[in-house]
Every structure is written in structure tokens, then in C-alpha cells.
Chains A and B, each alone.
Chain A
Amino acid sequence: MTNPSAARLRERFAGSVGAAAGADGEGVVHVDAARAHELLAWLRDDPGERYDYLTDVTAVEYRDRERPLEVVYQLRSLPRNADLRVKIDLPKDAELAVDSVVDLWPGANWLEREVWDMFGVRFRGHPDLRRLLMWETYSEGHPLRKDFPLRGRFSRAEQVRRALGGDLTAHYSLEELSIAEAYDALPEDLRRQLAPRPGSPAAGAGPGAGGEGGHRVVELALAAPGRGMPGAPEAEGPGSAATAAGPATPAGPDMKTDHMLINIGPQHPATHGVLRLVVELDGEVVVRVIPHIGYLHSGFEKLGEYRHYNQIIPLTDRTDYLSAPANNVAFALAAERLMGIEITERCKVLRVIACELSRIISHLVWAGTTAIDIGAFTVFLWMFQERERAYNLIEEWTGARLTTSLTRVGGMMADLPDGWTDRLREWCRRFPKTLDEVDRMLLRNGIWLGRTQDVGVMTTAEAIAHSLSGPMLRASGVAFDVRKDLPYLDYDTYDFEVPVGEHGDVYDRYLVRMEEMRQSVRILLQALDRLPDGPLNSADPRVILPPKRRAMSDMESMIHHFKQVMEGVPAPAGEVYFPVENPKGELGTYLVSDGTAKPVRWRIRPPSFLNIAALPKMAEGHLLSDLIAINASVDIVMGEIDR
């Protein structure tokens, strides 16, 4: 079954559309790199298609060296509730470059930067194509390429030496250099370095050509003030971003303003992890904010390519570590769809319980930390007390509080302990009282309203264009919830409401998340009511280990056990994109298999990565205090953003 859009595409762009395939109702279209931008624009704008939401941009490199590298655009039409995956094949012997779609979807900004960083695919016309997860002067190549060794090319000592040794620019933050006013304050040798050098290899080349040394990047950054807001889509010609504007000239005396540059983070109480925000302040007004991420980058996606499917589950714990059970479920569901495994009814209900419980836990952390960022300390502790109680339940179930590794492909790691459901019921009865109390504390408080209402507004159109998801998207008035619109785990049979905001400000995000917690309680109670007896794990002998007793007594079972553990479970060749509604937003798991026991590509579509990418859009023009409130309202977790 192919997606109907594929046929229309073929009709309209004859010759540029290659193979179209369908897997599990997902449409995949291969298109020609030259006309990809035009084609994507048509898909976005054509009234019959209206793929207005860019879910993800990523790339896939196959283990087979002959196969071309693929750049993957995962599109969604919110009005039609349809998904389409557009792939561009890039032969490896040619230049790895495609046209940027930042002008179509501003949300593609960071996604494309990540692909450039990880795969070395250049996006022509991208306004700010710098490394994202790795540091700007990283010179070992592109980590997710198959020829990149798992351990990296350089030793840690060599990395430090290269990052700092002898390179003056490495001691200054690029944004510091990019403030034109700061030019005069720089040392003489550095100014010489930054001055335009015609004929130098850097002057004529865009990013990607040659090494990723410091100077060229610095020039790019220097050009930034003249380009307006970073992140704003700009229709510049391909490759012109780095060179057209050139380095900014030192400001004249009348340009001298007293903008101040401060680093918020990576160590800062309000950044919720190791996020670094470089903020340019005019007094207290935020003129520019540039988020820097990657301090927690652990290469999970790379690691996943070297692991069996079940071995990846512990990695998912560590992405969004505030909702580990939900991540476990998301990965297991994707792997099961890839392998074509049906899970049991009991397993489905238990997974719903895991998802909703972790949604509540995650939202509790969010509400508490947002409150403390706005100064309401008490709410933080009230929320955390409830969270501890929920974690006690999780601990009883899984043995761990944070890194649960709750699921296995085809089933669960453990069944519920005795009496657990009663304890969950009791918690569900008591816990909403805390929510009500917090509502009374905050929503009748003029200071809280003043601090949250009309702060960090994202309109509906902006939220869609920036690919926000989850509560962030719903607070902006888009009634899209994966549980309702692309149901999994029989969510369509549960009775719950999806709260939708109107204003897209911090206040609405608060309301949406608070209501989601109440709705999650409803789902939990329904799940407890319907929890069926019966087997926990799927009967599929491919993925489910034989019981320990049989493995120890029966030769066949032992061999089976051994082979399954040592060799893993091969998945049929194919690919799957499986979205779930995680607490932070849409967590997509994109798995590509070439028929072996280890995925070719395990891509996490991280919701808070895309949500925080819109921070400059939301925060610029607000006050410093608002920046903190907005950053808190996004609900980020760095483990997921950096992966």
C-alpha cells in the first residue's frame, strides 16, 4: 500500500520521483535531490496535500558501502492526519548536499544542523549551518557516518589539545566575537585573524568544504548581527550564508551601545541541565539568545547501531531520563512493528500504565521546576513529594527509580508485584489533591499570572512551523495528540480529553500540563479497571527468551537462549517511524534495519530538542526573567536533547 500522495507526486514531478514504498501504512517516496526543495514546498502548500508539519529531518547511511546515503524528511499533514516520508538519495561519490528547507519550515533549522554535524550533509541556503551537538571546532569528522569509529578518532587528550591548543578563537565564545561592538575590545592578533582575508581558503567556501577549523566559523558568527535573528528563515542563495555578509566591520562610534553578553549555563540553576544560553542583553531586555547544546552528547544513536534491539532499551532510559518507562515503551513498540510482533493484551495495558505514570512524573518535575524558576519554591517541593511517591511505585515494579528498562521487545521486563494496583489506585486518589492545591497557590496569584500570561507566545502557525510538539503545540491551540490521532496501545479505547490552550503562552502551557496530569489519572484508573490476566509476553519464540528453568534443564531451550542472547534477534530489512506521545512531546523512533540483529539506524526524534530550538523565537524581546520562565515552560531534558 503506497501513500496516495506518492501517485500525485509522480504525476506532478514526473522523472524526479523514484521508488515509492509503503510499510505498515507509512508512505515512503524517494525523490531527486535537484528538485527536492520544490517538491517539498509543493507538498506543504498544495491544498490536496498540506503537509504543514515537519516531523523530523535525519539521514541514514547503510552498512552496504554501495548504497547511497539518504536524507529523510518525515512530513505530517495535521489537517489530513497523514504522514509521508520523503527520502533523497545522495550517492557517496558526489557532493553530499541538498537544499535547505528552513525557509519552508523554520523548525528544520536545528534538525538540518544536526544532520550536517552527524553526517556531513551540507544544506544549501541554511542560515546558520554550524555544528550543533559537537563543538564548533570539532575536527574528527561526522560521527554517525559508518566509517567513523565508535570510539572516535582522537583520544580525549588529543581532543582537548585540538580544542584549545594554540587556537586563540577557542578561548572566546563565538557569540562574544559576533557582537560587533565587542570587536574593539579584542586583542590585536585576534582582530587580525577576524579581518577579511581575501584569497584565503575560508573566504570562498561555504561550511563543509575543507576542515571545520575555527576561523571560518568565526566569520560566519561575526556576520550574524547583520542577518537578524538566528533561526529566522532566510531565502539566501545556496552557500552564501558564510560569505556574502562577510565579517562585520567594527562599529562606528554612534553604534556603540552597551549590550551585555552573558552565558546562562551550562552550569546554572535555571537551565535544567547542561544547556548553555548565550544571551545578549540590552539592560534587562533579551536582544538575542543562542542556545548551545551538546554538553551531554553521548552518541546514543551511534551506540544503538552496535547493539541488539533489546540492548538499546537501557539507552532509551537515559535519553529523557524523567520519563524512562515511556521511552522504553516507545522503543519497544517501534521494534515490534519492525519485526511484526503482536503483544499481549496485558502487556498493552501495562504499557499504558507505564506511559501515563511517567507522563505524570515528568509533568510533576516540570511544574515544580517552573515554579521554582519563577520563585515559588514551595510548589517545587510539593510536586517532588508526589513524584517520590510515584517513583516508589515504579521502583516496586521495576527495581529502579530512574533507569527502569521496563520493556523488552515483545513484552515486559517484569509483571506487577502483588498489591501494586491497589497502591496505584490509592495514589491516583490522593495525588490530584496536590494538583488542586498547587492550582490554588498559583492561579489565584496575581504575580504568577503576571509572570506567565502573554509571555513567550507562540501562535498556532508559528508552533506548527517550528515543529513544536506535545503540550507546547497544544498550548498554542493545535489539537494534536498522538494518542488520539495516531493511536497506539489501544489509546483510542480510553476515555480521556486532550487539553488545548488558546494563547500559546507560559500560562497556557501550565494549564495544559496540569490538565494532562488529571487526564492521565483518568487513563490510569481505566487501565487498572481493564487490566486483564493472561500472559505478559508475546508467544513469539523469536524474541522471547525461554523460561530460565527450561533453559537450565532442556538442551534445546538452552541453545535457543544462548543464541538469542549472543546473536540477538534479527529484524527483517525495512524501516519504521513510530511516534508516541511522550510527556515532552512527540517522541519518534525511526528504525532502519538491513536484516541483521542490529539496526542500521536508530533515530530518536527528540521532542524537547525541537521545542527548545524555538526558544530564540519565543524569548527575544522579553526580559531576562521571562527568558528563564519561557525556558522552564518548554520542559526540556538535556539527556534527550543531546542524546
Chain B
Amino acid sequence: MSPVTGSAFFWTSVVKILIVFGGILSLVAFWTWVERRGAGWIQNRLGPNRVGPEGLLQPAADGLKNFLKEETLPPFADRFVFLLAPVMAFVPALITFAVVPFASPLPTPWGLVSPAIADLPVGFLYILAISSLGVYGVVLAGWSSNNKYSLLGGLRGSAQLISYEVSMGLSAVAVLVLAGNITMNEIVARQQHSVWFVLPLSVAFLTFLIASFAETNRLPFDLPEAEAELIAGYHTEYSAMKFSMFYIAEYSNMVTASALMVTLFFGGWDIPFTAWDNTPPWTVLKFVATFAAFWLKVVAFLFAYVWVRWTLPRFRFDQLMDLGWKVLLPVALGYVMVIAVAVWGLGAAGVPFGLGYGLILTAVSAVLLGLLLWGLDRNRVIGGSAARQRARWLADAARQRGAA
């Protein structure tokens, strides 16, 4: 079956846009509920459970509230930029998703419909380009509010986003080296024929994961907001829907980042341990099954975001910068070289791309990952010193008692 063309292409694209963006926005709304209920679960409390069954309609109530609240416009703010900033945060967060394939192709009477809104040949470059625009929302919001806290938040945000953008891009380069292509569909296809790239590229996945937490401004990287220090930082002065748009942007960024991790490292819409879903003929059943597989993986990552948020404390700004520039960047850079050499070596040795190829790289990466974690940890991060300290106190106290 051939891909759709002509006006059918136009109409299927419109439908895809509506479905994907409607779906993301619904997921975002739903996820605010999950986050709050998840927080309640982690914190031994209930969370919102009054509106609708189990509080499921809470997001709707919040949305309504935000529409009805007063839109404040501080007199000292730069009016145009102040209004522009939420949009600048909101739009890139949504349109980044356009190139992510979220299922197997769908056969229709008019032809085969590609699973991404735009199956761009330069898909990954598009993602890098558009997701970088999100920083303007933060910076402009912080600057135009004419509030010192907001300004600090905006500055922190821009420094953070730019720093981690680099590591994020570099860790994705490893994927591109292995995939040999920057089209998202091709990256998925390569994983279907080998192993999911999370195994052969585990170090890249780790750096990408950390960088995407930083890119989404989530704990432990929520410094631009840092309510204890900057009182919501760059969006201190925003209210009602403008404030809401920052929130939607944050959650949309989470969805997009999760979708990217799924696509780059977890096989995209691939269903593991079977080749049934990878091969034509494409059927509606395959579309539905792979669609579900994709979103299940995304939701798993989204839950990780919630889990981490209610577990970890916040970094300090210099620690954040150190982690970004002194750890993540060299690691990602070095890893790209290692992977490039390994891929070249495997090619020279004539190992065909497939399962064995992936497993060899997995072994290489596992060794590197072990070294990295060992180097980072140094018995400080995981060991902790309180138990030792307490033991020493009690021993000292016992000695003193013995002496007296």
C-alpha cells in the first residue's frame, strides 16, 4: 500500500494534528491529577479526590478556575513580551512532538498513513531546533516581569537549559551514530532489527535521562522555579491562564521528553520479543497494539518524573552547572567517540547489524557505565555517613560512661 498523497495527505495530517495535540493536552491534564495523587501516595496522604470519581475531574475544575481567575498584568512589566512569554514556552513544547512516530503505519482507504504528524527526514535536528526555543519562554518571562526573583529564575533557566541542551544533543548523537540516520522512523526500525538502544547505549541513555529532567525544569533541577528560594521564579508574576500555560508547557515538555526517550532508546512503538508488529502488511490491529505499546512506555517515564519529584531534594546552582559541564558533557562527548570507534571497529570486523552487534556494544557500554557510576559515587553518594556518625557517637558515649 502506498503512502497517502494529495488532499488525503492534507486531511489525514489535520486529523493527526487534532488527535495528537488533543491527546497530549488531555494527557497533560490527566497527568496533573496523577502527579498530585502520586504525591499523595508517596507522602501518606490522599491527594485530590473530591471532584469526580477519585478526583479525576480535578484537572477540569482547575482548568475552569484558571479561566475564571483574574488575569493580572503588572504595570511595571514589559507588556508585549510579558504576554508573549507563555506562548513562547507553550508552543515549542507542543510542536516538538510532531516528528515522533507513535505507532505502526495505519492502512486507510486512501493509502498508508505515517504514524508521525510530519515524517521529516531531518527529524532529530527538528527536535533539537524546536526544543531549544522553549528557553525563550523562560527567559522572556523572567525578564519582562521586571521582578528580581523572576529575573533570577529566568537567568537560572536560560543557563540551565542551554547547558543541558548540549549534553542532551551529544548523548543523542550516539544514537544517531548507531542508527546511521536521523529520521525518527529509521531509528525505531533499527532498534526493531537489533536490540533497544538503551542496552548498547546505556551511558548515553543515562546522560540523556538526566539532561531531559533538567530540560523540563523538574526536580531535582527545578531551580528556575525553586519555590523556597525564588517563589516560583520566572512565573511569579503570572496568573490565571498565562500561569496555566507555563504549567501545560512543563507537562507537555515532560510528555515530549518521555516520548523522545522511548523513541531513541526504548524502541519507539516496538513491542518487545516479537517481530509481528515490525513487518508489513500493516493492519489496524497492529496500529492499535503498537500505539498502546508506545504510550505505555511514555507513561512509565512520566511516572518516573513524578516519582523523582517527590523523592529528591533540589540541586544548588553551582552544583547544577558542575554536573552539566564537568560531568555530563565530557561523559557524553567521550562516549560518542567510544561508540563511533566501536561502530567503526564492528564494521571493519564485518559484524552484521543485528542482535549480536547490539549485544557486543551492550557489553562495552555496561563496562563504561560501571566505571562511570563507580567514579561518580566514591562511596559518598550512596554510602552516606550518618550511620557511621551515629555509631561513633554511641561508641563515644559508651566510652565516656565506662570512664566515669
Contact = CB atoms under 8 A, between A and B. Distances in A.
Interface in A436-472: 439, 441-451
Interface in A594-637: 623-626, 628
Contact of B220 (A262, A270, A381, A447): A447
Contacts of A396: none
B393 A375 contact: no
Contacts of A378: 39, 42-43, 310-311
B318 interface: yes
Given A378-B43, A449-B380, A511 B229 contact: no
A486 interface: no
Contacts of B152: 262, 281, 284, 624
Contact of A443 (B43, B223, B315, B386): B386
B229 A628 contact: yes
Interface stretch (A146-154, A196-204, A366-374): A366-374
B11 interface: no
Contact of A444 (B149, B220, B229, B384): B384
Given A443-B386, A447-B312, A381 B380 contact: no
A23 interface: no
Nearest to B383: A444
B229 A624 contact: yes
A628 B231 CA distance: 12
B316 interface: yes
A385 interface: yes
B124 to A, nearest CB: 31
A446 B148 CA distance: 30
Contacts of A441: 311
Contacts of B219: 375
B334 interface: no
Nearest to A372: B228
Interface string B219-232: 11011001111010
A499 interface: yes
A90 B318 CA distance: 53
Secondary structure of the A contact surface, majority rule: helix
Contacts of A450: 315-316, 319
B2 interface: no
A428 interface: no
B229 A446 contact: no
A261 B149 CA distance: 10
Contact of A268 (B223, B231, B310, B383): B231
A284 B397 CA distance: 42
Contact of B222 (A284, A375, A499): A375
Contact of A375 (B42, B44, B313): B313
Contact of B313 (A262, A374, A499, A511): A374
A376 B312 contact: yes
B349 interface: no
A447 B394 contact: no
Contacts of B319: 447, 450-451
Given A443-B384, A624-B152, A375 B314 contact: yes
Contact of B316 (A377, A439, A451, A499): A451
Given A378-B43, A626-B316, A497 B384 contact: no
A515 B393 contact: yes
A444 B382 contact: yes
A377 B220 contact: no
B389 interface: yes
A269 B44 contact: no
B390 interface: yes
B313 A625 contact: no
A296 interface: no
A623 B312 contact: no
A376 B317 contact: no
A260 B382 contact: no
A443 B388 CA distance: 11
B319 to A, nearest CB: 5
Nearest to A264: B229
A382 interface: yes
B389 A511 contact: yes
Interface in B363-398: 380-387, 389-390, 393-394, 397
A371 B384 contact: no
Nearest to A261: B148
B45 to A, nearest CB: 6
B233 to A, nearest CB: 12
A368 B381 CA distance: 22
A149 B316 CA distance: 49
B159 to A, nearest CB: 10
A437 B382 CA distance: 15
Interface string B315-338: 111110000000000000000000
A457 B220 CA distance: 24
Given A375-B312, A451-B313, A499-B393, A625 B226 contact: yes
Contact of B384 (A372, A381, A449): A449
Contacts of A623: 316-318
Nearest to A500: B393
A625 B233 CA distance: 13
Contacts of B227: 269
Interface string A346-380: 00000000000000000000000001111111100
Nearest to A381: B43
A381 B44 contact: yes
Given A439-B386, A447-B220, A382 B228 contact: no
Given A381-B45, A497-B394, A624-B152, A445 B386 contact: no
A374 B228 contact: yes
A498 to B, nearest CB: 8
Contacts of A268: 231
A402 B383 CA distance: 39
A281 to B, nearest CB: 8
A624 B317 CA distance: 9
A497 B228 contact: no
A372 B228 CA distance: 7
A439 B389 CA distance: 12
A626 B314 CA distance: 11
Nearest to A627: B229
Interface in A243-287: 260-262, 268-270, 281, 284
Contacts of A261: 148
A610 B129 CA distance: 54
B45 A446 contact: no
Nearest to B159: A284
Given A374-B313, A447-B315, A625-B317, 9 more contacts: A262-B149, A371-B313, A443-B386, A444-B381, A447-B312, A447-B314, A448-B313, A450-B315, A623-B316
15 contacts: A262-B149, A284-B318, A374-B228, A375-B313, A376-B314, A377-B310, A378-B42, A381-B43, A381-B45, A443-B385, A444-B383, A445-B312, A445-B384, A497-B393, A511-B389
For the complex of A and B, the 3 pairs showing the least CB-CB separation, nearest first, are A375-B314, A446-B381, A443-B386
